[in-house]
């Protein structure tokens, strides 16, 4: 009996226009458009379902001037998943675009790194530079989940299920974690914001929202160690993901792609 394999889906729920200098520490001499996509990721097989991140809702999209293309729970519904049936959710980090609809999942536990909860409730939130990416209502709401015993804390690397594990990366935020999944094409790593775009890890450059630049750069090495190849690493916000991977179904073109099959190039 080998390890189980899983299907993985990237579901796009929002987008925004941006320019290249917005995305790189040190700016970029080649100014030009570099739009950003926003995703949540669904990991499942016949026995288990694990959601990775929960996106944000219409209220946060309006406040932050993002274009919501569908509520995250509606994206899941397109894949036949009801929010109330989701029991395990990995929160890669607490930024508003990753944690922002956790309250839509009444029966779920939330898997978070120790360091992330310490960060969002501690001294660094005094600084606008760090707190700007968080919503205080999300943070307070997640503290309430701790008091309901619905937060599962992880310190470093940990198994979530056979063939699904979290891996502490840090850097972007102190408790940033990536997710490794066993699939029929081998070990796939959902980098989330450990690499926003392919270009960040390929050129070893750093995204502008950052806690520790050195950990971001070391993180690329860890992603490469965890994945079967660079083509097994899925960045967190790159519109190329929707182009390189096949749609989950013909009618889901531009909405959801399959990550457990090899990318085209
Ligand atoms: Zn982030």
pLDDT in tens, 4-30: 999 999 999 999 999 999 999 998 888
CA 190 to centroid of ligand 1, rounded, Å:
13
**In which residue are the tokens 């950990």 written?**
215
* Ligand 1 geometric centre to CA of 198 (Å): 15
Cα distance between residue 7 and residue 64, in whole Å:
32
d(CA 204, CA 216): 9
pLDDT digits (tens, 9 = 90+) for 119-133: 999 999 999 999 999
* Rounded distance from Cα 2 to ligand 1 centre (Å): 34
CA–CA separation, 38 and 84 (whole Å): 22
Q: What separation in Å is there between the alpha carbon of 45 and the centre of ligand 1?
A: 27
What pLDDT was estimated at residue 1?
A: 64
What is the side-by-side strand order in the sheet with 164-168?
A: 158-161, 164-168, 177-183, 186-192, 233-235
Cα of 210 from ligand 1 centre, angstroms: 9
Token pair of 225 as six digits? 């160690």
- Residue whose C-alpha is closest to residue 139's, from 123, 119, 156: 119
Q: How far is the CA of 199 from the centre of ligand 1 (A)?
A: 16
Residue 158 and residue 166 in contact, taking contact as beta carbons nearer than 8 Å: yes
pLDDT tens-digit series, residues 82-127: 999 999 999 999 999 999 999 999 999 999 999 999 999 999 999 9
Tell me which residue of 62, 65, 91 sits closest to 175, measured CA to CA: 91
C-alpha span between 23 and 35 (Å, rounded): 10
State the distance from the centre of ligand 1 to the C-alpha of 173, rounded, in angstroms: 7
Q: pTM value?
A: 0.97
């Amino acid at each position: 009996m080998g390890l189980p394999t899983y299907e993985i889906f990237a579901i796009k729920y929002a987008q925004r226009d941006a320019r290249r200098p917005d995305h790189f520490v040190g700016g970029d001499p080649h100014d030009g458009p570099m739009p950003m996509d926003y995703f949540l990721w669904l990991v499942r097989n016949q026995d288990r379902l694990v959601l990775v991140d929960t996106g944000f809702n219409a209220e946060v999209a309006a406040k932050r001037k993002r274009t919501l293309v569908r509520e995250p729970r509606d994206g899941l519904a397109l894949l036949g998943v009801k929010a109330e049936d989701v029991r395990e959710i990995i929160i890669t980090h607490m930024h508003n675009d990753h944690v922002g609809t956790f309250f839509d999942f009444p029966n779920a536990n939330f898997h978070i790194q120790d360091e992330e909860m310490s960060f969002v409730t501690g001294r660094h939130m005094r600084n606008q530079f760090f707190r700007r990416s968080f919503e205080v209502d999300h943070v307070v709401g997640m503290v309430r989940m701790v008091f309901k015993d619905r937060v599962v804390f992880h310190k470093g690397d940990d198994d979530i299920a056979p063939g699904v594990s979290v891996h502490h990366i840090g850097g972007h935020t102190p408790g940033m974690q990536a997710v490794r999944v066993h699939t029929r094409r081998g070990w796939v790593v959902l980098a989330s914001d450990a690499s926003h775009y392919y270009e960040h890890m390929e050129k070893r450059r750093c995204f502008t929202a950052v806690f520790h630049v050195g950990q971001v750069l070391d993180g690329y090495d860890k992603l490469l160690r965890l994945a079967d190849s660079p083509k097994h690493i899925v960045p967190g916000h790159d519109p190329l993901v929707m182009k390189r991977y096949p749609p989950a179904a013909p009618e889901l073109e531009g909405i959801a792609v399959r990550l457990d099959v090899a990318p085209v190039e």
